[in-house]
Structure 1
Amino acid sequence: MAPRIHDLGYSPGIHPPGPTNSILDVPGVHISQLTIPTTTSSNSKSPNSTACKGLTLISPRPPQSYHAPCAASTFTFNGNGELTGSRQISDWGFINTPIAFTNSLSLGTVFDGIWDWILEQQDSKNWSGRDRSRNYGTPAVGETADWLVNCDVKASRVGRQDVARCFQNLRSGADGGLVKEG
């Protein structure tokens, strides 16, 4: 495994890293990742190399408490990516939905998949229309372009069933939920 930035002597931020040096050192945070091979990469030197599509899902709170506000902010690095819900985060200063990262063509599908999950959670709690409106939040879904590595961009789309599977696999640090980076 490649060294992490902390292993190279740089420690970003003002706080020391946690025991696993990962996002899961933060109590209550849950994460899940799904990586699916798609097609042979158009940018690979190896004919056996495959490009992948994927999804990373982060729940800042335990899944059953996803709607509890969590302090949040946004930062625009280059202005060429989309992050749904970013205006709401900037305005409110918190987030009350899961956060996802995927490829460009999957942004809408992942957004819809998060809404499917949120509505299922609300139904299971028998929330009224008033409860739903008081706990409203726009899901945050960030994207990155994978057009160079995925020669068949249609095959690189993540489906709503993939989002549902990712939600089923949410794990915290206490659950041994560490996932590989990348």
Structure 2
Amino acid sequence: MTNHSRQPRRVRDLGIVVGPLRTGPLNAITDVPGVRVGHTTIVDPPRLHTGVTAIVPDALEQGRGSLPCGLFVGNGFGKLIGATQVAELGAVETPILLTATLSAFRAADALVTHVLAGPGHEDTRTLNPVVGETNDGRLSDIRARPITEAHVLAALDGATSDLPGEGCVGAGTGTMALGFKGGIGTSSRVVGGWTVGVLVQSNFSGTLTVRGVPIRADDGGARPAPAGAPAADGAEPAANGLQPEGNSCMIVIATDAPLDARQLGRVARRAVFAMARVGSDFAGGSGDYALAFGTPGAPSSGGVDDGDLDPVFAATMDAVEEALLNSLFMATTTVGHRGTATAVPHTLVLDRLRAAGVLPQPSATGPVS
């Protein structure tokens, strides 16, 4: 019998390494200088499993008006507040919030409150809050819209440059992905003296794929959807486990590479491409978005030629892949409002990877997974 109470572990700690590039010290978006992350987590089982995640660029908190930002929409079935101005001007002028679909609008209002209260905004008359979302309506009573201004301000005020929480925290508390419990994940890569950091909120359908090996949620002890359980849009429950209420993924990329907004848009595009590596089916009802912003910590030696961006693209795709895997492997089984989402069984995954020759067989004295 599969043990679903296993301890959350990052994939790299399990010996699963994505790509050849080295990570930053924390292997997180906060490895990018001047980027902080904060969470507010709301849990009142089984009814509520939701929250807020804040990605805070210090430069904006210190009075800088905006930072270059690129946006790529893989599929636009979502409510990314502020998207049109980001696309039009190639800039972000507030921290980026992630939350649940029906709470995004309250979160945006609270974000405006936070920014207007900051230094340099005494005379501000227009502001573009950026809030992304995914639908956590299977595990949380999304119609309750429990996110308040206090929750948003707590996430913003509590943001730190430490390793962010992953799995069932903040905006990932009630999300699901690829037939398992999803959540928040993060990773980073160092390339050419620059750092690319990623944070994801995973909540999309498909078949979990780890280093090219598919892991089905109904293949090896993970609990499938209960018989007769309702699925999104009236569909029958998917064969590979309980699927999210609304398929979506939010990806936020930060980098100190000296890229302009157009180039950051190219980076954001690669971030969505990386979802295919972990098994996304890119469903038509999915809101798949990537936002890539630059920080002022970039060297002052000028920009980067487009012909030299391939290493940055590779770093982005590897970091997104690992962040998505971390979002699942760090999550725990959650009994929610309208179903149960089971955590990825680590032992099963490792056994499958070893059988496929992706990982070496464990030694007799090696660590127990």
Give the TM-score taking structure 1 as reference length: 0.76
- Counterpart CA distance in 1 for 2:97 and 2:53 is 6
Matching residue of 1:48:
none
Q: CA 1:87 to 1:5, structure 2 compared with 1: closer, same or farther past 3 Å?
A: farther
Q: Deviations over 1:4-23 (max 9, x none)?
A: 479623239xx742111100
Match of 2:155 among 166, 171, 174: 166
Correspondence list, 1:8-157, <5 A? 8-11=16-19, 16-40=22-46, 51-62=48-59, 64-65=61-62, 67-122=64-119, 125=120, 127=122, 129=123, 132-133=124-125, 136-150=126-140, 152-157=141-146
Q: CA 1:66 to 1:73, structure 2 compared with 1: closer, same or farther past 3 Å?
A: farther
Q: Deviations over 1:63-116 (max 9, x none)?
A: 632644222111223322211111111111121211000001110110000011
Query: Contact between 2:42 and 2:50, CA under 8 Å: does it hold in 1?
Result: yes
* Consecutive aligned runs of 4 or more in structure 1 exceeding 6 Å deviation: none
Q: RCO higher in 1 or 2 (8 Å CA, sep ≥ 6)?
A: 1
AA at the equivalent of 2:68 = A
Query: Contact between 2:115 and 2:121, CA under 8 Å: does it hold in 1?
Result: no
Q: CA 1:68 to 1:26, structure 2 compared with 1: closer, same or farther past 3 Å?
A: farther
- Counterpart CA distance in 2 for 1:115 and 1:72 is 19
Q: CA 1:20 to 1:161, structure 2 compared with 1: closer, same or farther past 3 Å?
A: same
Query: Contact between 1:66 and 1:96, CA under 8 Å: does it hold in 2?
Result: no
Q: Deviations over 1:124-178 (max 9, x none)?
A: x473x3xx25xx541110011111111x334452111111211221212xxxx22
Q: Which has the higher strand share?
A: 2
Q: CA 1:117 to 1:126, structure 2 compared with 1: closer, same or farther past 3 Å?
A: closer
SS in 2 for 1:110: helix
Matching residue of 1:178:
163
Higher mean alpha-carbon deviation, 69-78 vs 28-37, is at 69-78
Structure 1, unaligned runs of 5 or more: 42-50
AA at the equivalent of 1:9 = V
SS in 2 for 1:90: helix
Query: Contact between 1:115 and 1:139, CA under 8 Å: does it hold in 2?
Result: yes
- Counterpart CA distance in 1 for 2:78 and 2:9 is 26
AA at the equivalent of 1:20 = L
Higher mean alpha-carbon deviation, 84-93 vs 56-65, is at 56-65
Following TM superposition, by how much is the alpha carbon of 1:37 offset from its aligned partner in structure 2, in angstroms? 0.3
- Counterpart CA distance in 1 for 2:100 and 2:88 is 26
AA at the equivalent of 1:180 = G
Query: Contact between 2:28 and 2:164, CA under 8 Å: does it hold in 1?
Result: no
AA at the equivalent of 1:168 = D
Q: CA 1:165 to 1:63, structure 2 compared with 1: closer, same or farther past 3 Å?
A: farther
Structure 2, unaligned runs of 5 or more: 1-7, 168-369
AA at the equivalent of 2:165 = K
SS in 2 for 1:76: strand
Higher mean alpha-carbon deviation, 69-78 vs 57-66, is at 57-66
Give the TM-score taking structure 2 as reference length: 0.39
Q: CA 1:106 to 1:25, structure 2 compared with 1: closer, same or farther past 3 Å?
A: same
